[in-house]
Structures are given as structure tokens and as C-alpha cells.
């Protein structure tokens, strides 16, 4: 089954392919190495379709990857979510994960803020404050707000965010990507319990991270 490639990836795939042909012409043995690297580049930028649950109030994962943090944390100041701590769900994307970011909940884009910074290992907790990031504030129909933060990592050097100020977005819609390894943070509204646990694998646009209409408390999980 052929998986579509995100349009942001085609220039990279083309460069890899061109270099492979040129180098392979002079050094045939390197052609196969270049071919493997070209295939990996196409694989990295894959953009598979996802089945997003449509019930109102469901918050879906903004990224593929492993959940590395589910705890209270202070949101970035540029989000304007106040000085208090909110539940933060951090999802770490390695170079083999799908890197397309998706909208966790429908609403209006109330704020977009880019913050330059370092390129520390995105798995580190301090990467939330020190790394380059793109912060997105979503205002839902009930007035509550949710923050999503794209964080560059050790290898990632380019954050792509295609959202516009005041844009109306739907749950699960694609909104950007982070090239070559990264992290995505989600800050839940006060009083909303997370429905995932550290160590769990999340699928962007499909895995339910929280339910705004539920009174259920935080879920616990055990490795089996």
C-alpha cells in the first residue's frame, strides 16, 4: 500500500534522488546507499490518512509517538494561559514516527507565537522551555482554551505550522509538521483529566487523550 507523502517532503526526496543519481554515476557502489536514504526520506514524510472520532468533546493526539509526560506543568508564557500549572501531555516523536501534526480539538486559532531557542534532546523536560517552539492556542466553542506546542529536537531544525490567526479548524485536521525528530506538548484546560499514561503509544488524529464531557479521573496503566 502506497502512503501519500506530505508536500513539504517532496523537495527533500527530490534532492536525495538527484544526489543518488549523480554520485551513483561516478561511484556505482554508492548508488544503493543513496537509494536507501532516498526511500527513508520518503518514508519520513509519509502522510497516512487517519480515522478521527467525531463525538463532541473528544481531544485527539496532535502527533504520533510515545507519551513521555502526563503531569502538571506551567504552560509557555506566550500562550497566555496564566501563571498556574495545567496538565501537560508530552509526545516524543522519533525519526521513524509519522511527523504530521494534527489539530487536537476543533475551534478557532486564538493565538500563534513562534519562540526561537536551542535544539536539545526533545525527550528532556527542559526542552519545553529552552528549545525552539511554535505555540498554538485553540479557543473552543464553549470559550475554554487549549494549548499545543510544536518543539524542535536534537535533529529537528525546522518547524512547519500552516495555521492562520482566527482560522476555524476541525478535530484531526493536519496543521503542520516538524522535520526529523521532535516533540509535541498539549496543555489541557483546568479540570480536564488525561486518559493516557506515560509509555503509551499515541496515534495522531486517532488516539483520544481526554474527554471534555467526562467526569472520569486520570487513568492508570500497567505494562503487560
Q: What is the pLDDT of residues 145-166, one digit of tens each?
A: 999 999 987 665 578 899 999 9
Q: What is the DSSP letter of 8?
A: G
90 counts as catalytic: no
C-alpha 2: how far from its chain's center? Answer: 22
Residue pLDDT, tens place only, 71-85: 999 999 999 999 899
Query: Collapsing DSSP states into helix, strand and coil, what is residue 154?
Result: coil
User: pLDDT category, 203, cuts 50, 70, 90?
Assistant: very high
Q: Looking at the chain, which runs of residues are DSSP E strands?
A: 58-60, 65-73, 86-93, 100-102, 107-115, 133-139, 145-152, 159-161, 168-169, 174-178, 182-187, 201-202, 208-211
CA–CA distances in Å: residue 24 to residues 13, 28, 39: 16, 4, 15
Q: Classify residue 141 by burial, with Cβ atoms within 10 Å: 0-12, 13-18, 19+.
A: exposed
Residue 120 — pLDDT band, cuts 50, 70, 90? low
Task: Please report where in the chains the cell 505550522 appears, as a residue.
Answer: 161
pLDDT of 219 reads 80
The three cell numbers locating residue 129: 522551555
Band of pLDDT at residue 181, cut at 50, 70 and 90: low
Give the model confidence (pLDDT) of 87-119 as tens digits. 999 999 988 899 899 999 999 999 999 988 776
Q: Report the range of poorest mean pLDDT among 33-47, 108-122, 203-217.
A: 108-122
Query: For residue 95, what pLDDT is reported?
Result: 83
The residue annotated as part of the active site, out of 61, 128, 135, 182, is 182
Looking at beta carbons, which pairs linking 161-166 to residues 24 or more positions away fall under 8 Å?
A: 161/101, 161/112, 161/114, 161/134, 161/136, 163/109, 163/112, 163/136, 164/109, 164/112, 165/109, 165/111, 165/112, 166/108, 166/109, 166/110
Instruction: Name the residue ranges covered by the structural domains of the chain.
Output: 7-44, 58-211
Average pLDDT, the chain: 90
Q: Pairing relation of β-strands 201-202 and 65-73? A: antiparallel
| CATH (residue range 58-211) | 2.70.70
Rounded to two decimals, the pTM is 0.88
Q: Is 127 helix (H, G, I), strand (E, B) or coil?
A: helix
Distance CA 87, CA 209 (A): 11
**pLDDT in the model for residue 89:** 97
pLDDT at 216: 84
Amino acid at each position: 500500500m502506497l502512503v501519500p507523502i506530505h508536500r513539504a517532503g517532496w523537495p527533500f526526496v527530490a534532492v536525495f534522488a538527484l544526489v543518488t543519481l549523480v554520485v551513483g554515476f561516478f561511484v556505482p557502489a554508492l548508488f544503493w546507499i543513496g537509494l536507501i536514504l532516498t526511500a527513508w526520506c520518503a518514508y519520513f514524510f509519509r502522510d497516512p490518512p487517519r480515522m478521527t472520532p467525531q463525538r463532541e468533546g473528544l481531544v485527539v493526539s496532535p502527533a504520533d509517538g510515545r507519551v513521555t509526560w502526563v503531569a502538571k506543568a506551567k504552560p509557555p508564557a506566550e500562550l497566555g494561559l496564566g501563571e498556574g500549572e495545567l496538565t501537560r501531555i508530552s509526545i516524543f516523536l522519533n525519526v521513524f514516527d509519522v511527523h504530521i501534526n494534527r489539530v487536537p480539538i476543533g475551534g478557532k486559532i486564538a493565538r500563534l507565537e513562534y519562540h526561537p531557542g536551542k535544539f536539545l534532546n526533545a525527550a528532556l523536560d527542559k526542552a519545553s522551555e529552552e528549545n525552539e517552539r511554535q505555540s498554538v492556542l485553540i479557543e473552543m466553542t464553549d470559550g475554554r482554551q487549549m494549548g499545543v506546542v510544536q518543539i524542535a529536537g536534537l535533529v529537528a531544525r525546522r518547524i512547519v505550522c500552516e495555521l492562520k490567526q482566527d482560522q476555524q479548524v476541525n478535530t484531526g485536521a493536519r496543521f503542520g509538521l516538524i522535520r526529523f525528530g521532535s516533540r509535541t506538548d498539549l496543555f489541557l484546560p483546568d479540570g480536564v483529566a488525561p486518559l493516557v499514561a506515560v509509555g503509551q503509544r499515541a496515534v495522531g488524529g486517532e488516539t483520544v487523550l481526554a474527554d471534555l464531557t467526562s467526569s472520569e479521573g486520570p487513568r492508570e496503566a500497567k505494562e503487560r
